[in-house]
Structure 1
Amino acid sequence: MNINEFLSYKEIDHLHSQLHTSSNNHEITVYDTTELYGEKGAFRVMQFSNHAIQGAMDLNHPERIVFEYPRAIIHLMECNAPSFEDVFLIGHGIGTIAGHFPEKRFKVAELDSEVVELSRRCFGYSQDNVMIGDGRQILEGEEPQKYDYIILDAFTAAGTPRHLISREFFSIAHSKLNSEGYILMNLMGKGENDPHINAIYTTLAKEFTYIKSFSLPSEGAADIQNIIIIGGFKPIHFQARQMADFNEIQLGQGYLIRD
């Protein structure tokens, strides 16, 4: 990716007031900053109205993956099915994960066309593989056993939509993965003591034999953190030093989530 392919730092600074937009789903802002979570530099950020950052780019090193959770997901993908080819991704953001694998066949479902437009205009996303619409509905129309990975990275102000974490959704995902496939989810929660995260784990276990869960360290038990859950039909492998500070956690039994 070439920094000249999208708006320059000065151009976006000039357009700052014009890069706040509304869609049917979100208030979206794209802005530049010289500090991100305590790190100094030059960063471009996409953020929704609830202050949820959807993606960030290091303008000095556009190829760098800034956040920990996509780095951890990429490691799990490369570790468990290194020869993967086909991926279905729900939730586009700035296109970090799909953009990291231009040689692979990604199909991306994104509810908001404005998010996709900004990913192209401001973050240089150049692939033509994003479908606008509800990720579950689009996935239902896919061929059985087609995918090596299904990745869920979709949020609203209330969290991950319920119809993307229900028993019925996981049954659909099961049917669209091949026998070597895995589902990967980026969630937000309190880790091992979160009833909702435990419910997602319990619901996923109805469809997938092997499950592992990871979270970033937190200072307090009530802190909301990124949580990654991976489920599959074969044992799950990872190297702790490659997990971008995510630690494995043990989730407990919870309630069953239905549509």
Structure 2
Amino acid sequence: MELLYQSSSPHHELFVYETTQFYGEKGRFRLLEFSDNAMQGALDMNDPERILFEYPRAMIHLLEYNQPRFEQVFIIGHGIGTLTSYFSDKRCKVAELDHEVVELSKKFFGYRGDPVCIGDGRILLGSEPQQAYDCLILDAFSEKGTPVHLISHEFFMMCREKLDASGMLMMNLFGKGEHDPLINAIHTTLNGIFTYVKAFLLPSGHRGHIQNIILIGRQTPFGFQARQMAGFTEIELGEGYTIRDRDPL
């Protein structure tokens, strides 16, 4: 492993490094990480157009399968700009809290997509017109996980108001699947706002390990093709509490 960059921003400790292995695959890979070893982006240096992580591939399928003529997307959480780069022919508005993350995406990962708005994603989304978006994507993390103000009843209500009649909210989360109280609470909170809600898990092979989870909320029914979900499988989550803005986690 070769460390290319390390710094501490007001929000994260940031690392960029290269490695010759990525989950058992040999090659040349460049990664962006936070201080808790949470990978925020990965680039195959031999095939820069390739999307390495499973969750953006699954999200791309869900959006293209259910909204083939979508035009406008709002993304909270930039990373290295994987989704924005893929949807370069669409109108994407991106909110990122950490200015340095955006600069690293340009310097080390070749990001050349739409300009990124620096600031709190909820505040920036709140200033957008009603029913303006076909899709909202939440992919934002701190060292403590997804910030509570981005998983609350009040935030999801705002999201519903910013989406058009067939719009989708898609969330990338981490948790222990069906046995995670916080994931169950997020699901229950989302289910109180949107008529149709689904959850998808990327199995890790180890019960109880932290895993990628995608949650979807929509006012109209939606489907998917299992073979296009990059290994994610639909799961049933248990009942949890409703998260409010005033609630500590």
TM-score (norm 1): 0.93
Aligned to 2:38: 52
Asked if 1 retains the 8 angstrom alpha-carbon contact of 2:96 and 2:119, the reply is yes
Aligned to 1:200: 186
Asked if 2 retains the 8 angstrom alpha-carbon contact of 1:210 and 1:232, the reply is yes
What is the rounded CA distance, in whole Å, between the counterparts of 1:58 and 1:135 in structure 2? 28
Is the counterpart of residue 246 in structure 1 residue 244 in structure 2? no
Aligned equivalent of 2:127, options 134, 138, 141: 141
Aligned equivalent of 1:227, options 201, 213, 216: 213
State the Cα deviation string for residues 102-134 of structure 1 (Å, max 9, x = none). Answer: 100000000000000000011111123210000
Aligned to 1:8: none
1:219 deviates by 2.3
State the Cα deviation string for residues 40-96 of structure 1 (Å, max 9, x = none). Answer: 110000001110000000000000000101100110010110110000000000000
State the Cα deviation string for residues 202-249 of structure 1 (Å, max 9, x = none). Answer: 000111000111001132331100000111011111000000000000
What is the rounded CA distance, in whole Å, between the counterparts of 2:164 and 2:35 in structure 1? 37
Helix, strand or coil for the counterpart of 1:89? strand
After superposing the two structures, state which structure 1 stretch, 123-132 or 172-181, moved more. 123-132
What is the rounded CA distance, in whole Å, between the counterparts of 1:78 and 1:71 in structure 2? 11
Q: What is the identity, as a one-letter code, of the residue corresponding to 1:35?
A: Q
Give the length in aligned residue pairs. Answer: 244
Note the 1:88-237 alignment, pairs <5 A. 88-237=74-223
Asked if 1 retains the 8 angstrom alpha-carbon contact of 2:74 and 2:92, the reply is yes
Asked if 2 retains the 8 angstrom alpha-carbon contact of 1:187 and 1:228, the reply is yes
What is the rounded CA distance, in whole Å, between the counterparts of 1:182 and 1:70 in structure 2? 15
Helix, strand or coil for the counterpart of 1:92? coil
TM-score (norm 2): 0.96
Q: Which runs of 4+ in 1 moved over 4 A?
A: none
What is the rounded CA distance, in whole Å, between the counterparts of 1:41 and 1:240 in structure 2? 28
Sequence identity of aligned pairs in percent? Answer: 60
- Cα RMSD, aligned residues only: 0.9
What is the rounded CA distance, in whole Å, between the counterparts of 2:113 and 2:160 in structure 1? 27
Is the counterpart of residue 62 in structure 1 residue 48 in structure 2? yes
What is the rounded CA distance, in whole Å, between the counterparts of 1:129 and 1:102 in structure 2? 11
1:36 deviates by 1.2
In structure 2, runs of 5+ residues without a counterpart are none
Q: What is the identity, as a one-letter code, of the residue corresponding to 1:74?
A: I
State the Cα deviation string for residues 12-44 of structure 1 (Å, max 9, x = none). Answer: x6xx45x11111001111111100111111000
Helix, strand or coil for the counterpart of 1:251? coil
What is the rounded CA distance, in whole Å, between the counterparts of 1:88 and 1:129 in structure 2? 12
What is the rounded CA distance, in whole Å, between the counterparts of 1:29 and 1:193 in structure 2? 31
Aligned to 1:9: none
Is the counterpart of residue 27 in structure 1 residue 10 in structure 2? no
In structure 1, runs of 5+ residues without a counterpart are 1-12
State the Cα deviation string for residues 151-186 of structure 1 (Å, max 9, x = none). Answer: 000011111000000000001101000001010000
What is the rounded CA distance, in whole Å, between the counterparts of 1:180 and 1:130 in structure 2? 25
